[in-house]
Amino acid sequence: MENSEPGTRIALQDSLPQRDPYLVKSVVHASQLLRAFRASGEALRLREIVRRTSLPKSMIFRLLYTLEKRGYVMRIAGKKSYRLTPVRRRFRIGYAGLHTSRFQREVTWGILSAARKLAVSVIVRYNDEFNISKALLNADRLLGEKIDLLIEYQFNETAGHVIAAKCQEAGVPCLAINVAQPGAYYFGGNNYSTGVLAGEFFSKYARTHWKGQAGKCIVVPGKGLGSTQETRIAGLRDSLRKGLPKLRASDVLIAPAALSVNEAHIAVRKVLAALPAGSKHLLLAAITDPPGFGAEKALREAGLAEDAVIIGHGGARDARRHIEAGGPFRASVAFFPDSYGERILSLAVRVIEGDKVPLACYANHVVLTAENLREYYPREFAPRPLAAGENDKVKAAAESSTIE
């Protein structure tokens, strides 16, 4: 074997039998690549790994991709360099999650995917939205698994206080998702800012489509979200006060709280029925996305869909599909739940390892609209190629249509 002094290439394969039926070449190539790193903290670009290993660039790219997915190497954020993943004992992390909505499932998928990448063990138990007993039982069971950290995703603030006390007694740090919990690190929405973004969207929409006029703003709160949604509503009110000064405080109506699409449909239908005849230019803010879908159904039934606009909060795949379809549900303040997993687990590992980390870390936020969906989700909304003969059908349909 050649030495690996700077400027030389690693020729591991030269020391191996040329014809060994038991030799797995892909493993040999992967070991070559790993040996190219001369220190655990050394950062290498792709071209330097090619130079040190003599392996083809395309092969190295595939090996790096695989080794990164399996947690052996990691890409340095913001750079095109890689380094070896620091060797650590396999941490055990408890995750008490939610799985009812599309948003919640995207968060869970992200956490489980990141666990494989970071080589940590995640023990999963599922909470119900507002079942305090189940949340407390899950916390007890996970703490009994001798975990290094608990990730808690549940809505009930009372349960949050009790779980905080349990974690303190067990000496286990806790990280709360989306709903703040006493004594816990927090990852989730910057709730005041998301409310402000919703109000700014409404103000811009009213100026563009209604000459700055708006009739009523109906807020569709989520059931049981407590201070989380109160903070979002405060941001919305402040933003509307600045962007639409003619909209009076009394014009902001709070609908009955709803959790599901059906509950929101009924709640908004009642609010619309109580509006004066001839009401127009309606703004509807859903504190989470699913109630926004119910509000859209109520607007269509009332014949008001063409003169109303809805914005939700979340931006999961179901919301993106509603936006793409067109209609009153035109926007959602995105939290990018598909990015939660890696950020949450990376934060969790840093906490376990004793790093100094912020008590609150926020998701990225942007208002998703039909105009920017492809910018943020290019793969999901890539143009679909036409099938054989489909182009002729599209052309024929266009030529046969009339403009009145």
Alpha-helix runs per DSSP H in 92-226: 102-118, 132-143, 157-170, 191-209
Is residue 39 classed exposed, middle or buried when 0-12, 13-18 and 19+ CB atoms within 10 A define those classes? exposed
Q: What is the pLDDT of residue 284?
A: 97
Distance of CA 157 to the CA centre of its chain: 22
| Same fold for the pair 12-84 and 191-334+366-376 | no
Alpha-helix runs per DSSP H in 216-336: 227-243, 261-273, 289-301, 317-325
Q: What is the pLDDT of residue 394?
A: 34
Q: What is the pLDDT of residue 56?
A: 93
Please state, as a whole number, how many other Cβ atoms lie within 10 Å of the Cβ of residue 321. Answer: 14
Q: What is the pLDDT of residue 88?
A: 59
Helix or strand or coil: residue 83? strand
Q: What is the pLDDT of residue 90?
A: 79
- Residue 369's identity, in one-letter code, is T
Is residue 182 classed exposed, middle or buried when 0-12, 13-18 and 19+ CB atoms within 10 A define those classes? middle
CATH 1.10.8.50 for domain 12-84: no
- Which class in CATH covers the domain with range 191-334+366-376? alpha beta
Q: List the structure tokens of 145.
A: 């698994």
Q: What is the mean pLDDT of each run of 10 residues along the chain (404 residues)?
A: 41 53 87 87 90 92 88 79 77 93 94 88 91 94 96 91 95 95 94 97 96 93 84 96 94 91 95 90 95 96 94 96 95 95 93 91 96 92 57 39 28
Q: Where are the domains of the chain?
A: 12-84, 92-189+339-357, 191-334+366-376
Please state, as a whole number, how many other Cβ atoms lie within 10 Å of the Cβ of residue 101. Answer: 19
Fold of the domain built from segment(s) 92-189+339-357? Rossmann fold (3.40.50)
What span, in angstroms and rounded, lies between the C-alpha atoms of 366 and 25?
46
